[in-house]
Structure 1
């Protein structure tokens, strides 16, 4: 099996719901809507796994708080821009994160669909952020 330098360990936060005012349509900016976030952060977890010391890892609560701030501090027309903003903020705040995969889902987009949702997914490492 080929060896890669990419860290395969991850911190995962999934199906988080936030309320925000992102979108192109006036209703989205006025009324707001729910957004769902799925996040994977590539972090070497060997040390916290061996030491059981919270100081050697990234707190899920800190990641959640940053996500909340990123989603509510600025309004974006595109969820693509919101996703990139989340990536930028995470890399800035947590230097041990090597790569990020974030999915921004918009389950209530103002489009007449009976079931489903609209989403984007961004995958970045520090060099391509």
Structure 2
């Protein structure tokens, strides 16, 4: 069995934007994701043999909140890197990221990006915008 861990609308406070003015204060970015886990023994009931979603979500929050980004795409890559580095049981990650509210001069439900990566094609860590 290869389970998939998911989470929805994790709020992050992030300095993000294409200009210094937009990055001058944190904005709310919501992240939803799916992490396909490595094959597990059927009937597993041990946290030590799976991915602890509490730890995963805390890692995501701690890796982005002290950092600045220009684009949601780069933020997504940064989160993927942290997940792949810190959680070897994750085989693939798909994240959906959007700002809340969308910084547009007209109403829209959500607009954002989806980033996906597999362990087999992941090339390692890239550095955030400083």
Question: For this structure pair, what is the TM-score category when the shorter chain's length is used for normalisation?
Answer: 0.7 to 0.9
Asked if 2 retains the 8 angstrom alpha-carbon contact of 1:107 and 1:116, the reply is: no
Using the TM superposition, give the Cα deviation of residue 22 of structure 1 relative to its aligned residue in structure 2, in angstroms.
0.9
Q: Is 1:25 aligned with 2:8?
A: no
TM-score by length of 2: 0.84
Q: Distance in 1 between matches of 2:48 and 2:119?
A: 22
Moved more, 105-114 or 72-81: 105-114
> Structure 1 or 2: larger helix share?
1
The residue aligned with 2:57 is 64
Higher normalized strand content (fraction of residues): 2
Q: Corresponding residue for 1:42?
A: 36
Query: Secondary structure in 1 aligned to 2:64?
Result: helix
Q: Alignment length, in residue pairs?
A: 122
Find the aligned partners of 1:26 and 1:118 in 2 and give their Cα distance: 21
- Secondary structure at 1:67's aligned position in 2? helix
Give the TM-score normalised by the residue count of structure 1. 0.84
Q: For the residues of structure 1 that align with 2:84 and 2:38, how far apart are their CA atoms?
A: 15
Corresponding position of 1:106: 99
Q: Paired residue for 1:75, among 58, 68, 79?
A: 68
Instruction: Give 1:105 deviation, angstroms.
Output: 1.0
In structure 2, the CA distance between the partners of 1:13 and 1:45, relative to structure 1 (3 Å rule), is farther
Superposition CA RMSD, Å = 1.8
Structure 1 unaligned regions, length at least 5: 1-6
CA contact (8 A) 1:107 1:118 kept: no
